[in-house]
Amino acid sequence: KATATAAAAAASSEPKPACEQAVTHFGVGWKPPADYFVEHPDLAAFFTAGAGVDHLLGLDGLPELLPIIRLEDAGMADQMFLYCLHEILRRLTLSGDYERQQREGRWVELESRPAASLRVGVFGLGALGGELARRLAAMGFSVSGFARGPHQLEGVNCLHGASQWPLFLAACDVLVLMAPLTAQTRGVIDARALAALPTGAWLINVARGALLDEAALLAALERGSIAGATLDVFQHEPLPKDHAFWQHPRIRLTPHVAAQTLIAPSARQVADKILRLQQGESVSGIVNRLRGY
C-alpha cells in the first residue's frame, strides 16, 4: 500500500526525473587548487573552511559575483582565546624569566603583577579578535583594540583610524595580531610600528605572516626594543628550515595551529547556511571583496 500511495503521489505531482532536476552546486574547502574556479564555473557560493580568505581572492576564474562565505567562529574563537591567553599569562607571570633563572640555577623572587597592570592590544576586532578582547577584559586585563572602523566591546578601549594607530601601539605591553590580510594590512607591523611599541613589549601573531615585516622583527629583537614574539603564522609556510626564527631565543613558534577548523561545528554552520540560501534567506559571513575580508 505504501508503495502504491507513493507512486500515486509521485505521478500526481509529475516530478522531473532526477537527471533533469536543476542541481545547485556549492563549493566548500580551504586552499583549493589554482584552477578550481575555472573548473567549477557554476557554483552558487563557495564556503571557506577557515576565517581568512586572502589566499582565495586572487585565484584565476573566481567569478566576480560569486559569494564567498567564511567560517564565523565555529569553535575557532575559543581556541584562539586559549592560545593567546596562554602566551599572555606567560608574560604576566614572568614564566620566561623564571625558566631562564632555573637554567642558570638562580633563586630570585621577581615582583608579581596584577592582570590590570598588563596592557594588551588586539589588532583586528572581528569574530575572533573581538571575542579575545572581550574575554581578556572580563578577566581584568587592560585591553584596547584597534580596527578599521569603530567598535563597541564591553571593557575594551576600541580605537580606529590612522591618527589613533600610534596611540594604540604605544599602549601595548602585549600586541596580538588578529586582523585579516588585505592590501591595507600587508606589512603593517614594520620597523616603525615595532618602534612605537613600549620597550619590552611582546608580539603575538595568530593572523597572517604577511602582516609582519619579519626582518624588522629580528632587528627589533636584536636592539632589545621588544622582548620577544610568539608566532603561529609566517610569510612562508612551512617555515623554511634555515629561517632565523627557528633557533631564536626570544621567539616561540607553532606551525599555524592557534585555531584549527573543527569539522563538526564547521559542517553544521555550512549546512545551515546552505539551507538558508536555498530558502532565499540572507546569511552572515559573506566576504566583502572590496574590503578584502
The H or E element that residue 144 is part of is strand 142-147
Distance CA 73, CA 84 (A): 15
Question: In this chain, which of 32, 52, 126, 130 binds ligand OXD, going by CB under 6 A?
Answer: 52
**Residue whose CB is nearest to ligand OXD in the complex, by number:** 50
Burial 126-161 (b: 16+ CB within 10 A, else e): bbbbbbbbbbbbeeebbbbbbbbeebebeebbbbbe
Least distance between ligand OXD and beta carbon 207 (Å): 8
Nearer to ligand OXD, 80 or 159 (CB): 80
Rounded CA gap, 91 and 41, in Å?
49
- d(CA 293, CA 291) in angstroms, rounded, equals 6
Which residues carry out catalysis? 208, 256
The stretch near ligand OXD (CB under 6 A) out of 10-18, 44-52, 143-151, 163-171 is: 44-52
76 or 171: CB nearest ligand OXD: 76
Answer for which of 32, 50, 129, 130 binds ligand OXD (CB under 6 A) is: 50
Residue 186 C-beta: closest distance to ligand OXD, Å: 15
Q: Is the dihedral angle over the CA atoms 102, 105, 111, 117 positive or is it negative?
A: negative
With contacts defined by CB under 6 A, name the span among 49-57, 108-116, 143-151, 240-248 that binds ligand OXD: 49-57
Least Cα distance to 190 among 165, 173, 171 occurs for: 165
Determine the interface stretch with ligand OXD among 48-56, 155-163, 168-176, 271-279 (rule: CB under 6 A).
48-56
The reply to whether omega before 238 is within 30° of 0 (cis) is yes
* Percent of residues in the chain assigned helix, strand, coil, to nearest 5: 35, 15, 45
Q: For the segment 253-292, give every residue that binds ligand OXD (CB under 6 A).
A: 259
**What residues contact 115, with CB distance under 8 A and at least 6 apart?**
92, 139, 140, 141
Helix (H, G, I), strand (E, B) or coil at 230: strand
Q: Interface with ligand OXD by CB under 6 A: which range of 46-54, 86-94, 182-190, 192-200?
A: 46-54
By beta-carbon proximity to ligand OXD, the closer residue of 250 and 256 is: 256
Q: Which residues contact 209 (CB under 8 A, 6 or more apart)?
A: 231, 233, 234, 235, 236, 237
Please work out the total of residues on this chain that contact ligand OXD, with binding judged by CB under 6 A. Answer: 4
51 binds ligand OXD (CB under 6 A): yes
Least separation in angstroms between CB 51 and ligand OXD: 4
Least separation in angstroms between CB 205 and ligand OXD: 11
Site string for ligand OXD, 203-242 (x = CB under 6 A): ----------------------------------------
Largest CA distance in the chain: 87
Using CB under 6 A, list all residues that contact ligand OXD: 50-52, 259
